[in-house]
Structure 1
């Protein structure tokens, strides 16, 4: 194989027009390394994403790709040269020239079809903006998938190939690797994610609150035996069990029927929580919150005037461990919002199992939301009256999922996680760290 300089010299003798383009493209692709540093992932990333995103290269993107292709041919890397000069690359770069930022959808689809794009798994959802450990591991997975494609072990587009792709990804994540001190790379990824999550900028109050959790979030939280897991989530288990295979008929207004509302109040012991008649769901606040929570968690949905279990809901009703895991996965939610911030604060405070004054938790929510830069009610610095609805939105759901206990008088109320709920809260926070796009 020729060296890079030899290949550039050879290219200069045959096509001087491309030499400068080839040199610039190579430096950006390899970072000064040799031919051994080239991988399919790096070529695709450079041609489909980096070139397309560089506004300063408008009008020069395709010549740079052509130059790179010619150089890769000279280095004996014909398969990679084919990617650089492919119709896909040309379409992506043409779209980028026509509209700054254009071509990203085409590039993303092409990357997915290539088979080497690391898929999200139950262990992690990859981030575009990530730390150095995750970036290294992402490329390591892509390289392993490339090998499988080249050998024919993984054939994109064939039946079951995505499941096989996920299995290969999990194998890389969990197999000890020399680059990670002969430990499973996933351990280093979790540590980096947790560290960055705890120390997100702007809110020192948030960092101080989450820092004690950092070590505890490194380890996976096991839901334990099915029966205790189901018992912890008694109201949600009741609702899912109440829904038959063909669903539960709803009223014309889309609420639970009065008979189901009455059964919920009696069988869950909530009758004394209601003032006045409660034959309708809108009058039975705990039942309303329970159904809304089940919907938000993705366990139920409306279909043709009936409340039906989703695929996740059907799995949850069959297995208490699955129910526990589904609730943990959806409790905080994937979005980056002021409400999600409130969830993080409340769960972090309650996770240790200590009894804490409600007013203190509300104050922490207000401080963290304000310091994190969220604007509520049009205010640059939201005050307690603005953030109180966030706190109570979290509390009402925890209350009627029966995951929190309240004690004391109204003005001196204290909150405490129910026995076993602390593990669920920790699992919910860990899931948020590993499966959200935010840093």
Structure 2
């Protein structure tokens, strides 16, 4: 994998591209990424010419903006579901069904207390349900584990419940989810698309452009598609969908439906 050097190439000079690069550079000067953040180091591997849409998204993200009255909304949005699960696993834990799912009373409680409808959660809380995603996220974050058919808190899980603010701090610093360089790089681009308030179609374009510019491709060398990048960033994407930070717009994929608190949550993650 090789990143672009960003050096001027007179043989491919295109006035429109150069003008766009200048515009983006001016915008980035006004709203740069947070100095010494992991995201700033990540951006150094790219150039405006190799990923113009990605850098345009950076310019729109207001990465040094404030959080003012949105902080509590942002923290609740990012932690509410996990806090419910961890509190439910206090004491002796949650005895799972024979198939390894949460029992029916917890499914009903999740619908009532987390305002989850029936579109995704599923009666049996199967592998594609919000509850299954929630449990897997908690396991990935090392808050819970399974022991003899019971979902129990880990020491870390008990710790983040005991100290106010610890759950929020751990979640922000643990993002993006997923092991390996690919999952981490794809996750940072995904958070950028959220911070920039991009629509679903714009998100896909920036994800494909950014990953391609970083040198990632399919196993047969063909151009990346929607299925490819969603797989690459799956852990982070399903978590953000589960908490409601990324929301599909069934009426128009060219118009963002993501909440403002989600955008500010992404901004904070990218400032770490």
TM-score (norm 2): 0.70
Relative to 1, partners in 2 of residues 1:231 and 1:381: Cα closer, same or farther, differing over 3 Å?
Answer: closer
Which residue in the other structure is 2:175 paired with? 331
After TM superposition, the structure 1 = structure 2 runs for residues 394-433 of structure 1, keeping only pairs within 5 Å, are: 394-409=236-251, 412=253, 414-431=255-272
CA apart distance, 1:257: 2.0
- DSSP-derived class of the 2:112 partner: helix
Q: Which of 80, 98, 101 in structure 2 is aligned with 1:255?
A: 101
Q: Deviations over 1:218-250 (max 9, x none)?
A: x99899977873455221221111112222112
Note if 1:376 corresponds to 2:223.
Answer: no
Count of residues in correspondence between the two structures = 237
After TM superposition, the structure 1 = structure 2 runs for residues 237-248 of structure 1, keeping only pairs within 5 Å, are: 237-248=83-94
Which residue in the other structure is 2:59 paired with? 212
The structure richer in helix per residue is 1
Residues 366, 388 of structure 1: 8 Å contact kept: no
Q: Which of 191, 198, 223 in structure 1 is aligned with 2:36?
A: 191
Residues 235, 402 of structure 1: 8 Å contact kept: no
CA apart distance, 1:332: 0.4
Cα distance in 2, alignment partners of residues 313 and 293 from structure 1: 12
CA apart distance, 1:251: 2.4
Cα distance in 2, alignment partners of residues 413 and 213 from structure 1: 17
Cα distance in 2, alignment partners of residues 393 and 232 from structure 1: 15
Unaligned runs of 5+ in 2: 1-33
Relative to 1, partners in 2 of residues 1:316 and 1:213: Cα closer, same or farther, differing over 3 Å?
Answer: farther
Which residue in the other structure is 1:77 paired with? none
Q: Which of 143, 154, 161 in structure 2 is aligned with 1:310?
A: 154
CA root-mean-square deviation: 3.6
CA apart distance, 1:429: 2.3
Cα distance in 2, alignment partners of residues 398 and 193 from structure 1: 20
Q: Which of 45, 48, 51 in structure 2 is aligned with 1:200?
A: 45
Q: Which of 181, 186, 207 in structure 2 is aligned with 1:342?
A: 186
Cα distance in 2, alignment partners of residues 199 and 416 from structure 1: 30
Q: Deviations over 1:387-418 (max 9, x none)?
A: 24336654332121122344351x53643443
Relative to 1, partners in 2 of residues 1:417 and 1:244: Cα closer, same or farther, differing over 3 Å?
Answer: same
Q: Deviations over 1:190-234 (max 9, x none)?
A: 5386543221147831761565389836x9989997787345522
Note if 1:389 corresponds to 2:234.
Answer: no
Q: Which of 91, 106, 119 in structure 2 is aligned with 1:273?
A: 119
After TM superposition, the structure 1 = structure 2 runs for residues 34-433 of structure 1, keeping only pairs within 5 Å, are: 190-191=35-36, 195-201=40-46, 204-205=50-51, 208-209=55-56, 211-212=58-59, 216=63, 229-230=75-76, 232-274=78-120, 278-282=122-126, 285-333=129-177, 335-352=179-196, 354=197, 356-379=198-221, 381-390=223-232, 394-409=236-251, 412=253, 414-431=255-272
Residues 125, 131 of structure 2: 8 Å contact kept: yes
Q: Deviations over 1:344-390 (max 9, x none)?
A: 112112214x3x32011012111111221123343254344432433
Q: Look at both structures and tell me which one has the larger radius of gyration over its CA atoms.
A: 1
Residues 299, 311 of structure 1: 8 Å contact kept: yes
Which residue in the other structure is 1:6 paired with? none
Flag the structure with more relative contact order, 1 or 2, with Cα contacts below 8 A and sequence separation at least 6: 2
CA apart distance, 1:342: 2.4
Relative to 1, partners in 2 of residues 1:208 and 1:274: Cα closer, same or farther, differing over 3 Å?
Answer: closer
Residues 403, 418 of structure 1: 8 Å contact kept: yes
Relative to 1, partners in 2 of residues 1:361 and 1:381: Cα closer, same or farther, differing over 3 Å?
Answer: same
Relative to 1, partners in 2 of residues 1:213 and 1:357: Cα closer, same or farther, differing over 3 Å?
Answer: closer
Which residue in the other structure is 2:30 paired with? none
Residues 198, 214 of structure 1: 8 Å contact kept: no
TM-score (norm 1): 0.46
